A = this chain, B = another copy of it.
């Protein structure tokens, strides 16, 4: 029985939007190298970064009807996250639906499927991360679910989770961990800034991080030239 949940819990709006100050790689590290979607989830145009609360939806293969159901339930600051119930790369989403979602305050789309009208989406600056670019049209015959937990890009996504997406991909932060992960991201970024400055001066990671001894313990040997 297809089900749409109207009311979901979201993290605090300011907290969610603060994630956009950090890159996907940083946040993924900050939460212990978890939550990253598979690398086939790629931006359809480069240079965007968005952070928002997940509204989730499932769609039947070749059928985008549920996106209309979800469009009513998204709120300002949300990101729509969509998975087909079986793998499908059809073009579920284009500039019309982007216009609709934007009018509802939705920041962008993450879809384990296809996307079309990519030139228009870039002109509109509506960001989409998808598995494929395809103009293949879809039908409206079989509704799916909205705001139930889904798997997208190999990661579990619950409604209300924080989604952060940029040119490196998409990371999912469980809603209840959002504050801790944001704090850890900030700490990590500050640490990275210090490391970056020292690397820029020519300092080696080997020295800065005391790696020489553990490498030797693991058996690394240096030789001046290859064996004769």
- CB atoms of B156 and A221 under 8 A apart: no
- CB atoms of A69 and B6 under 8 A apart: no
Interface flag for A72 (CB, 8 Å): yes
Contacts of A167 in B (CB 8 A): 118-119, 133
Contacts of A116 in B (CB 8 A): 24-25, 168
How many monomers of this protein are in the complex? 6
Contacts of A32 in B (CB 8 A): 1
Contacts of A225 in B (CB 8 A): 5-8
- CB atoms of A23 and B117 under 8 A apart: yes
Contacts of A77 in B (CB 8 A): none
Whole-angstrom CA separation of A134 from B169 in the bound complex: 7
Contacts of A196 in B (CB 8 A): 95-96, 99
Q: Contacts A1-B219, A23-B117 given; 14 further ones with Cβ under 8 A?
A: A6-B223, A25-B116, A28-B135, A39-B132, A42-B133, A47-B119, A97-B199, A99-B199, A103-B199, A104-B202, A116-B168, A133-B167, A139-B141, A159-B226
